[in-house]
Structure 1
Amino acid sequence: MSGKVYQFKMNLVEAKPPIWRRFQVYADITFEELHYIIQTVMEWGDNHLWAFTIPGVKGVITPDLEEAESDDKDPQETVLSDLVKEEKATIMYEYDFGDSWLHELKLEKILEPEDGKFYPNCEMGMGAGPLENVGGIWGYMRVLEALKNPKDDEHKEVKRWFKEMEMEDYDPSYFDASEVSAWLRELYED
């Protein structure tokens, strides 16, 4: 990869407290590559359908080409910099159409690559990657509410579920950008 670097700030829509990531990628990656980078920085498992939409651009970018409309684009062939060209541009990314995890990506900066710096990388963020298959952001917030309140009717059930999943030490506030950057390096280093 070469050329410009895009710095995005990505927010998980309606997450309270906020869950966000700031990461950098080469501008000439495909949307499929961007999907995999998002999966890594959000600590998702890549088990569901997904799509990108860009305000002002017709159609969606989705791997579900069997259901595609005429304006839809193949993420393996569509290059990020072909559709996103200016700072402050917005991309919407939906993951898991059933739970509908909606992410808003804002292009904060277009940069020159720094010598010795690895791309993609995660610069910073807040909040652990949410648990999948809990009913989207609202289900996730409900699970966290039950987890922290022993008087909640669902507290015992949620605690048992966390134990079965071997996640008793799950901390919804934990996020380590350097750890995520190391994962990205493992995945993308030549």
Structure 2
Amino acid sequence: MIYKIRIILDTEEDIFRDIEIEASNTLEEFHNSITQAFGFGGSEMASFYTCDQEWTQDEEIALFDMSETGSDVRLMNETSLDDVLTEKSPKLIYVYDFLSMWTFFVELADIVEKENGRPYPNILFSFGELPDSPPEKKFESQSEIEFGDSLDSYDDLDFDENWN
């Protein structure tokens, strides 16, 4: 089977690539296809992350195991595309170059039969140019207390002042 996948760079502008690739390919082969499609050298660290429908990041699938003890991290070369990308879970997050944090949203668009004589992976469509530097990430504050707020009363903070 052939997966048709859209890979979208996390930017305000539309920058994406549509790739078709064999479902049985490894995530490492898919990683190589993405780096080539976007014009990266492919020499930086990268990871895929499983996620839910709202793009909430879950399990990491790394290019290399960087732990000293050989952890339980799944590796791209040991994981096939159809193990993590299915009709029921059609989304992944892909991060390339952890110093620059190029972040992409990966979504399965269609599953089709393999065409004889067509080479895979294959770039179906390319839209937008990769910027010279990765887009800046804007993080929202999780705190509801502003720095200028007065903390004259500790009664509402729900802690035991005699904790020790």
- TM value normalised by structure 1: 0.63
In structure 1, runs of 5+ residues without a counterpart are: 140-190
Segments of 4+ moved more than 4 angstroms: 68-71
Find the counterpart in structure 2 of residue 95 from structure 1: 96
In structure 2, runs of 5+ residues without a counterpart are: 138-164
Q: Matches of 1:79 and 1:59 in 2, distance apart? A: 15
The offset of 1:66, in angstroms, is 2.2
Q: Matches of 2:73 and 2:59 in 1, distance apart? A: 4
Map 1:17-36 onto structure 2 (within 5 A).
Answer: 18-36=14-32
Find the counterpart in structure 2 of residue 62 from structure 1: 62
Question: How many pairs align?
Answer: 132
Counterpart check, 1:42 vs 2:43: no
Deviations 1:5-25 (A, max 9, x none): 000011101242x11011100
User: With CA pairs under 8 Å and 6+ residues apart, which has the higher RCO, 1 or 2?
Assistant: 2
In the alignment, is the contact (CA less than 8 A) between 1:60 and 1:71 conserved in 2?
Answer: no
What is the one-letter code of the residue matched to 1:12?
L
> Which is strand-richer, 1 or 2?
2
Find the counterpart in structure 2 of residue 113 from structure 1: 114
> Which is helix-richer, 1 or 2?
1
Q: Matches of 1:95 and 1:71 in 2, distance apart? A: 21
Q: In percent, how many aligned pairs have the same letter?
A: 27
SS at match of 2:51: coil
2:135 corresponds to which of 134, 137, 140: 137
In the alignment, is the contact (CA less than 8 A) between 1:58 and 1:71 conserved in 2?
Answer: no
Structure 1 residues 111 and 88: alpha-carbon distance in aligned structure 2, compared to 1, 3 A threshold: farther
Q: Matches of 1:58 and 1:11 in 2, distance apart? A: 19
Structure 1 residues 10 and 49: alpha-carbon distance in aligned structure 2, compared to 1, 3 A threshold: same
- Superposition CA RMSD, Å: 2.3
